[in-house]
Structure 1
Amino acid sequence: MDIRPFTIAIPQADVDDLADRLVRTRWPDELPGAGWSRGVPLESLKKLATHWAVHYDWRAAEAQLNEFPQFTTEIDGQRIHFLHVRSDNPDALPLLITHGYPSSFAEFTTLIGHLRQDFHVVAPSLPGFGFSTPVRESGWAMSRTARAWVELMRRLGYHRYGVHGGDVGAGVSGAVAGMDGEHVVGVHVVTDPLTAAATATFLPGMADRLDPADPVDKLALDRMAEFQRQGSGYLAIQNSRPQTIGYLLNDSPAGQLGWIAEKFEEWTDLPYDRDQLLTIVSLYWFTGSGISAARFLYEQAHSFDWGAPPAVPQGFAVFGADATVRKLVDPPAGAYWAEYERGKHFPAMEAPEVLAADLRTFFGELR
């Protein structure tokens, strides 16, 4: 039940070690003309790694993160780290927001600035991510995390709250709403065509509704097949051999950087703050959570517990929208549905004002 204030304070020796490791990276060669077709191009990653080692200021980023009230508590034997940003608005609605992969609570720093007038924001780090470490036992996937989130909101004294998330965070948010419908006023999730296609490749039943003879259904099936062929390598490794990839992620900052930067390149279409990306990667590096984050995906891939469907109002914000997303998501009748032409997997970084406005619109009807 103990909730303790938390301040990020990475030892200077760890900061110096990171810079030293980056400077001494043993870079591989590269085939000419490969571009992004085989992964992150050599010169692109060298440039980003140099910026991380020479120009990026971790201490400034650390100070910025520490401007947000942070806490830790233990739930179900697991250390849980979270931001808790209270609004000055007496009518503010508590809002539990959950990040996805490969991300962290730092994805939400700009978004929270747009939300704090209307919401008390609680932003936990998923078990195995960032400062919600170490993870000492198996079984931490979406449903167990959702149960921990329900307990967290109870400990904070919130008896009526909304939930929001994207990617893995969308699954956790839906499970929270399914478990705690007595207290959850509504669940809001973000998605995009690639995320919807990726989810449909492993979530039972999603693809069964599609008819190859229908043009839109065929486009969705083609996108799923393309993801399986070209975009699912990271999932195949982490869903099957997280320990093996963990040696790379834990020992090579250039390896951890490439693993995450590739996804930001592929999964965004609007500009985002490069230093904010490096803050996210730095959190993975300093906490050694690359391997435990990979294990979270492994646990979910081997779990049959996807949680009960929510029986509360549901809202969907689709970024980079096209017709395939509604087909794949198949929202329940009466669900809130909003589509935005630009933005993709990381709308809290790509389009924070748009996402904040959408959250206000959805939850404004539920207060």
Structure 2
Amino acid sequence: MKRHVLGMAALAALGLAFANSAVAQVQEIKLGFAAPMTGNQAQYGKDMQNGVTLALEDFNATHPRINGQEIKFVLVSEDDQADPKAGSVVAQKLVDGGIKGVLGHFNSGTSIPASGVYSRAGIPQISMATAPEYTRQGFKTTFRMMTSDTQQGSVVGAYVVNKLGAKRVAIVDDRTAYGQGLADEFEKAAKAAGGTIVRREFTNDKAVDFKAVLTNLKRQSPDVVFYGGAEAQSAPLARQMRELGMKSVLVSGEMSKTENFIKLAGNAADGTLCSLAGLPLDQMPGGAGYKQRYEKRFSGPVQTYSPYAYDGAMAMMKAMVQANSSDPQKYLASLAATSTPGVTTRQIAYDARGDLKEGGITIYKVVSGKWQPVESLAGK
């Protein structure tokens, strides 16, 4: 009996050793994530983070391997507070922490200064930034999750003139890299389509009182007021337009296309138009499956940015496996040559700058307090 007990104990110990060995053989690969996780843009950062988190969980479930060894991707998250200075500090912290790639930042204003830090370290960055300057710095490490302002602004500018029949157009932007960049591209396209820019004003991304700006715009009787910026400003802007009796249609970009915009703007939200990269969720190639997995995992509806963040994370992880290496210098070429099916589009692929090759845009309108897709247009 004693020998039997000892034998069983030895087998148990041997089994435990094998188990520990198997666990030890799973190599962890750190991916960085940076976005605003506090402040008035925290909802965007959380939305983006959810998409990245789901991508890591889905990909890890396939038990990926590099050099025959099973790997596990882990996320190292940082709050950049939507602040350019904080963004650069966070970027250096992630680099020093040994990340092999970064998914972020969210804002163009943080992504652009942070991209210099990642470039010097040779670490690939897939960002939600839309400002054209992000991928025009000559870095080989910059890639996008969404279409650029050049693509989006050019489509929307032509749309308001050709489809809405707007002849007199006013523009307001928040002076951020995103807001000003989108407004600049919109202005070029609206002028090219034959529209007249009757006035251009600017504010900042903390403002909530636009009465002075709107009073100046009202005198010009614009058919459309385009706002380049986020919901925290576009919602009170919409409210105050109606309070001043303005009949102009408010048009904005994807940072205004949120449920929170409708909540903040109230009845004044109705009639607002916004552009958003890609197709509506139910028309995305992988939209149905993504929606099911997302709602099960996070117990809530899919928001604006998470599908794009998911595709970006998947592209980075697949590039490492394809290159059979997590060394940024070795998998960067695979990432640049990516051609893989996505949730948001048939094929995730980048041009020489790191911009997405496929860049469709959908126009949405608030109808009776709900966002409704109006038309999907080809990007340029």
TM-score (norm 2): 0.33
Pair member with larger Rg: 2
Give the structure with the larger strand fraction.
2
Higher relative contact order (CA 8 A, sep 6+): 1
TM-score (norm 1): 0.33
